[in-house]
Structure 1
Amino acid sequence: MTGLLWLGLALGLLLGSGLAARSMGAHRWATLVRSHLQQLESGSVGAHGRLPSPTKFDARELGGLPAPVQRYFRAVLADGQPIIAAATLWMTGSMNLSVTAEQWKPFTSQQQVVTRKPGFLWNARVAMFPGIPAHVEDSYIAGHGRLMAKVLGWFTVAQSEGQGEIARGELMRYFAESPWYPTALLPSQGVQWKAVDAAAATATMVDGPITLTMLFRFGDAGLITSVHADSRGAGVGKDGRMVMLPWDCALSDYRAQDGMLIPMAGEAAWVRPEGRKAYFVGRITSLRYALLP
């Protein structure tokens, strides 16, 4: 009986220590993310005078745009729609953590987006194993890209950050997700459109030294169904160089939100020589906007 008592005490201590470590790790992670969010918000505040843009959508600015782009804006925006300054998105979904196998793990996340100085911060909690979460930040803040993951908020399992291709790749995510904050795609917000065919157009945006051009495809209803980049950094290879691959972002399930039509589902995939392979599937559960007055 004494042995069982000591075993129970030992297990209780281990469990208590594990719970304490998880709680402390979560607090440590929240503090780190909060500091990055402050950088995101301060950069946005300082950019209010960056573009001499209107505060509301005026349908007259669509003149001269490619036909599928005009159909898209007329489908998702009403004339007079206030310009989106910031957005908060809550999402659930799953991520494949393996390049070669199927290791899908569920996640929940909250994402902050600012549009006056393009930037975002995706803060996710991924269920690695029962009771063992990994905290993940994917962000683009003031020209700086970051991908960071810590198990229990303590142990770093992935980290890459900086300018160059890392920042470029994160800005691609912001651009591909713009249908979630569609006024950011308007010409008055700095985006240039060029016709490709009756169902596609390229869009170009500039932020500091980075210029991006991506292919937007439109469905029969005039809505954006996918965004494609010919080359995006997919990680570092054995030789230490960034591996560049084509990248796709699919969007679907458009629904009315604050007077606009917004896609509630998204999927990201790498296009490898052996074919297209999805690694991220997400669904928006809640969405909130900050609009220009």
Structure 2
Amino acid sequence: MSSTGTMPTAIIDLAMRLGIPPPGAGSPRVSLTQTGHMKRTLESDSWIAFKASQTIATDRCAFDWCAKVGPFGLISGRDALEDGDGRFDITALGVIPLARAHHTPALVRGELMRYLAEIAWAPHAILHNSELRWRVDGPDSLSVSAGVGATASEVILGLDSDGRIATAFALDRPRSATPPILPTPWHGRFSDYRLVDTIWVPMVAEVAWTLPAKDIVYWRCQVESWRADADHDRSKRNRMTGTS
């Protein structure tokens, strides 16, 4: 559990605006479901629909995203970070391997950057995750980092007029787990904040790579459900109570 004693005031204020109570007896696990579309390749003009479920830890840097795409959801994808190791797999019918990323520092950096960018969906991590390092860059800009050495990663979070997380930017997220790793500017946008129980959560997101010619949005989603479960009460379902 992170201590708020040495945390910059701006970070504590962000947590308070998002409805996060001071750290107590435990750190909740976030669970959410999504529907959306993603590009087959960055060069493609076609999009494929997906449905996904995700869990995000708030006391450490870990997540597990599982999606089904294609006709009848026959293709499955898993993107995960657990115990300091990244994972990216694509399978057919749940058992036939189609693609698997090599376990490299570049893969871990990419997954760490995803975790840091998605703090908007797991805001309890702001106060609960002691692996995070924070820096205040300005009134509307905060940097959060994690990892050391070859896996050190940083994401810059931009705040909207309500002081909530609206953007996430990484200067050099790897586009490949193996050489050439192609470190590339990468950014996400969050919008349509809703009040779920006492927590403000963005319900819409999109992600893009910044290439020399233009920004290419390659992933968009709508959050269909969101909950934060305490370790002792996984069955509690949060209810949506308002909009931004």
Length-normalised TM-score, structure 1: 0.70
Report the aligned-residue RMSD.
Answer: 2.6
Q: Which residue of 2 aligns with 1:200?
A: 141
Q: Say whether the 8 Å CA contact 2:77–2:89 is kept in structure 1.
A: yes
Q: Which residue of 1 aligns with 2:83?
A: 142
Q: Say whether the 8 Å CA contact 1:132–1:151 is kept in structure 2.
A: no
Deviation at 1:163, TM superposition (A): 3.3
Q: Which residue of 2 aligns with 1:73?
A: 15
CA deviation profile, 1:91-140 (whole Å, cap 9, x unmatched): 1111111221212000011112223332111110002xx34621000011
Is the helix fraction higher in 1 or 2?
A: 1
Q: Say whether the 8 Å CA contact 2:22–2:127 is kept in structure 1.
A: no
Q: Say whether the 8 Å CA contact 1:225–1:252 is kept in structure 2.
A: yes
1:285 pairs with 2:224: yes
1:117 to 60, 76, 83: 60
Deviation at 1:76, TM superposition (A): 0.7
- Cα distance in 1 for residues equivalent to 2:129 and 2:66: 30
1:235 to 157, 170, 176: 176
Corresponding residue SS for 1:72: helix
CA deviation profile, 1:152-209 (whole Å, cap 9, x unmatched): 3344332103130101101111111111111212387343322222211212234797
Corresponding residue SS for 2:106: helix
Over 3 Å counting, the alpha-carbon distance change for 1:187 and 1:107 in structure 2 is closer
1:267 pairs with 2:206: yes
Q: Which residue of 2 aligns with 1:176?
A: 117
Q: Say whether the 8 Å CA contact 2:52–2:66 is kept in structure 1.
A: yes
Deviation at 1:147, TM superposition (A): 1.0
After the TM superposition, which residues 97-108 of structure 1 pair with which residues of structure 2 at under 5 Å, given as runs?
97-108=40-51
Task: Compare 205-214 and 97-106 and name the one that shifted more.
Answer: 205-214
Corresponding residue SS for 1:189: coil
Q: Say whether the 8 Å CA contact 1:97–1:104 is kept in structure 2.
A: yes
Structure 2 stretches of 5 or more lacking a match? 233-244
Over 3 Å counting, the alpha-carbon distance change for 1:114 and 1:161 in structure 2 is farther
- Cα distance in 2 for residues equivalent to 1:113 and 1:195: 24
Q: Say whether the 8 Å CA contact 1:236–1:243 is kept in structure 2.
A: no
Over 3 Å counting, the alpha-carbon distance change for 1:65 and 1:205 in structure 2 is farther
Q: Say whether the 8 Å CA contact 2:101–2:177 is kept in structure 1.
A: no
- Cα distance in 1 for residues equivalent to 2:205 and 2:12: 22
- Cα distance in 2 for residues equivalent to 1:64 and 1:141: 27
- Cα distance in 2 for residues equivalent to 1:78 and 1:286: 18
Over 3 Å counting, the alpha-carbon distance change for 1:212 and 1:81 in structure 2 is same
The number of equivalent residue pairs is 231
Q: Give the number of the structure whose alpha-carbon radius of gyration is greater.
A: 1
1:95 pairs with 2:38: yes
Query: Percent identity, aligned pairs only?
Result: 24
Task: Compare 208-217 and 221-230 and name the one that shifted more.
Answer: 208-217
- Cα distance in 2 for residues equivalent to 1:155 and 1:63: 46
Over 3 Å counting, the alpha-carbon distance change for 1:73 and 1:115 in structure 2 is closer
Letter in 2 for 1:179: A
Deviation at 1:281, TM superposition (A): 0.5
- Cα distance in 2 for residues equivalent to 1:224 and 1:195: 14
- Cα distance in 2 for residues equivalent to 1:245 and 1:91: 26
Structure 1 stretches of 5 or more lacking a match? 1-50, 55-59
CA deviation profile, 1:2-36 (whole Å, cap 9, x unmatched): xxxxxxxxxxxxxxxxxxxxxxxxxxxxxxxxxxx
- Cα distance in 1 for residues equivalent to 2:99 and 2:92: 10
